[in-house]
Structure 1
Amino acid sequence: MSTILIVDDEYLIADILGYALEDEGYMVVKASNGKKALEVLDRERPALVITDFMMPVMDGLEFAKAVRERPTSAHLPILLMSGAQGGIGRTKPELFAAVFDKPFDIEAVISKIREFVLPDSY
């Protein structure tokens, strides 16, 4: 089963996105900030990461840079979801495969995820 890591300190957003992705056939793991996400990344080996920008401890930009620096995860597609910092993410295509502004269209997010990772139900 393909695993997706959701990194967001807003639990409601992470839960809504997680439930939608599970309904699509993905396994979902979550972390509330970039530092915790790096620990999950080592343990779970996700096929794709969705991250918020503004988070405590380690923000989405710092997290994406850390992911790219690791040989085992440098290839991972990272989708950025941000309420205010989407413009910054759009200037970093080497870090983010796609950028979505909050509030996001869940169908557009799922469609983009399918470009990178097929769920098991296919």
Structure 2
Amino acid sequence: MTTILIIDDEYLIADILSFALEDEGFLTVTAGSALRALEILERERPDLIITDYMMPGMTGLEFAEAVKAQDKFQTIPLMLMSGAQAHLGRQRADLFVDVFSKPFEIDVVIASVKALLTA
């Protein structure tokens, strides 16, 4: 089953996104921080990562750089969700395959995920 790692310190957003993606047949794992997500990466090896930008300890941009710095994770695509910082993610096409501004349309996120993972 295709696994998606969702990282957001706002648990309600992570849960809503998780439930919506599970309804579409994806397996999801959530993390409340980028540091926790780095631990999860070691055991889960997701097919896709969706991360928030603003989080305590490490931003989504710093997280993406840490992921891409490791050879074993370089092929995992990352998507970014952000309120005010979405433009920063759009400037980093080397890190993110898609960027969503918060509040996002859940249908748009699902369509992007499906296009990427079921192609």
Same fold, judged at TM 0.5 (above): yes
2:9 is matched with 9
Question: Given the alignment of the two structures, is residue 86 of structure 1 paired with residue 86 of structure 2, yes or no?
Answer: yes
Paired residue secondary structure (2:72): coil
Structure-2 residue corresponding to 1:66: 66
* Range moving further from structure 2, 8-17 or 71-80: 71-80
For 1:57, the equivalent position in structure 2 comes to: 57
1:113 alignment partner in structure 2: 113
* Structure 2 gap segments, 5+ residues each: none
**What is the distance in 1 between the residues matched to 2:59 and 2:36?**
11
Instruction: Report the Cα distance in structure 1 between the residues aligned to 2:114 and 2:43, rounded to whole angstroms.
Output: 23
Query: How far apart are 1:58 and its partner, in Å?
Result: 1.1
Instruction: Normalising by structure 2, report the TM-score.
Output: 0.97
Instruction: State the alpha-carbon separation in 2 of the partners of residues 4 and 80 from structure 1.
Output: 13
**Structure 1 position 71, deviation (Å):** 0.9
> What amino acid does structure 2 have at the position aligned with 1:38?
L
Query: What is the RMSD of the two structures over their aligned residues, measured on CA atoms?
Result: 0.7
Dislocated runs of 4+, deviation >4 Å: none
Aligned partner of 2:56: which letter?
A: P
1:45-85, Cα deviation, whole Å (9 max, x unpaired): 10000000000011101100011011111111100000110
Point out which structure has higher relative CO (alpha carbons under 8 A, 6+ apart): 1
Aligned partners of 1:79 and 1:49: how far apart in 2?
6
Tell me the matched-pair count: 118
Q: Is 1:22 matched with 2:22?
A: yes
Distance in 2 separating the partners of 1:20 and 1:50:
13
CA distance in structure 2 between the partners assigned to 1:53 and 1:71 by the alignment = 23
SS in 2 for 1:103: coil
Please, which moves more after superposition, 6-15 or 107-116? 107-116
What secondary structure is seen at the aligned counterpart in 2 of 1:96?
Answer: coil
**What letter is aligned with 1:39?**
E
| Matched-pair identity in % | 55
2:92 counterpart SS class: coil
Mapping for residues 32-51 of structure 1, pairs under 5 Å: 32-51=32-51
